[in-house]
Amino acid sequence: MLGRRPAPGNSPEILIVEDDAVILDTLAYNLTRQGFVAHKAPDGAEALKLTRKHRPDLILLDLMLPGQYDGIQVCQKIRRDDPNIVIIMITAKDAEEDKVKGFEAGADDYVTKPFGIKELAARINANLKRSTLSRGARGRIIEAGELSLDTKNYTARVRGEPLSLRLKEFELLAALASEPGELKSREELAKEVWDHAGVGGSRTIDVHIRRLRATLEGKSGYEYIHTVRGVGYRLEVGP
């Protein structure tokens, strides 16, 4: 597993993975003007190489890549090496299936083309902030029945058994466990976990809930997360 480099100073490092040279150079130029350190990769193989070399704080990843590895494969390989690095995927407008595949591969967020640089920078900053907080800048213990979540050390247990969760899965579980029995809509969860409500209208929440539910039930045999069709989800504590 890749080690995380020291906490970033005033200039977080961003790796931009995009095969269109004009878009790649434009993004790098504008993100540099926004105060980031930008690295560029025109394909998947170079992206993997630069990830190991620079260990960036965040990767901006186009899913449609030529060559040996497409964006999904790059995302999967990076996520296996580093569960904490933030990955924002770039998708075509209304490409719902691409978003679902990206999230299943381990991406944290998405932006759709076309997008403005200020919007992109805001999304990057929001994800970096949430990632830093989740890795220990502050936190608390959440107890819900036999579930225990430490939001400072980013650990979760059920019946004393540790759970292996990705960042967004952990945040989603924390959002539900903080108010057991309370129904939360997809839009509420999207705003709380992803910082923007747009995710709530897609299958993104469902993908993460399905994976989270399988992890919980695999350890405990109990159905913690219940679906209210067309509305959202609630967490019920164990027996």
- The pTM is what? 0.66
DSSP string spanning 8-34?
Answer: P-SS-EEEEE-S-HHHHHHHHHHHHHT
Report the greatest alpha carbon distance in the chain. Answer: 57
Residue 186: which of 178, 196, 84 has the closest Cα?
Answer: 196
Confirm or reject CATH 3.30.420.40 for domain 13-135, answering yes or no. Answer: no
Q: At 201, is the pLDDT very low, low, confident or very high (cuts 50, 70, 90)? A: low
Neighbours of 160 (CB within 10 A): 8
How does the average pLDDT of the chain come out, rounded?
A: 84
pLDDT > 80? residue 222: yes
Whole-number pLDDT of residue 132: 62
Whole-number pLDDT of residue 4: 41
The ranges of the chain annotated as CATH 1.10.10.10 are 139-235
Q: pLDDT tens digits for 20-30?
A: 999 999 999 99
pLDDT > 80? residue 119: yes
pLDDT > 60? residue 134: no
Mean pLDDT throughout 53-76? 92
pLDDT > 80? residue 138: no
CB 73 within 8 A of CB 44: yes
Block residue for tokens 């990843």? 61
Whole-number pLDDT of residue 126: 83
pLDDT greater at residue 208 or residue 10: 208
Q: pLDDT tens digits for 76-99?
A: 999 888 877 899 998 876 667 778
Looking at domain 139-235, which of 3.30.70.1450, 3.90.180.10, 3.30.70.600, 1.10.10.10 is its CATH number? 1.10.10.10
Q: pLDDT tens digits for 165-180?
A: 888 888 899 999 988 9
Whole-number pLDDT of residue 64: 87
Both structure tokens of 101: 């595949």
Whole-number pLDDT of residue 196: 66
Whole-number pLDDT of residue 183: 94
Residue 52: which of 103, 90, 1, 107 has the closest Cα?
Answer: 1
The ranges of the chain annotated as CATH 3.40.50.2300 are 13-135
